[in-house]
Amino acid sequence: MSRYILDELLQEFSRGLAIDESLRQELNFEQMIALADTFIGWALDERTDPKRSAWLTGVSEGLLAEADLLGPDWNLPEPEELSLVGFLGRVANGDRIRPEQTPRGRQKPGPRE
């Protein structure tokens, strides 16, 4: 593997490590761990290209570091609405999700066909 490709993969990994602060308000400790496990599973899937795999590995490591920093007592009230990451974290953790919390549940009904 060339030095250029390794640098590119390291750059993607580093980008993934940069966890957004808003996740602290979206995910509890267990959800962060579950989502990190999901992302590393996707990263290791043979169908995932190397750049995406490096990024997913970085995100997974970032979530694990954030969970470690916050500790197992990190819990927060259930938000009324969930972002995609909040939704995925709950699905990965096996949490129950109310229909109105999902992006589809928040949509206004359209005209019937």
pLDDT digits (tens, 9 = 90+) for 14-45: 988 888 888 888 899 999 999 999 999 999 99
Domain parsing of the chain, residue ranges: 3-97
pLDDT digits (tens, 9 = 90+) for 38-81: 999 999 999 999 999 999 999 999 999 999 999 999 988 777 78
pTM of the model: 0.80
Cα angle 59, 60, 61 (rounded to 5 degrees) comes to 90
Secondary structure letter of residue 1 according to DSSP: -
Distance CA 111, CA 113 (A): 6
Per the CB < 8 A criterion, the answer to whether 54 and 17 are in contact is no
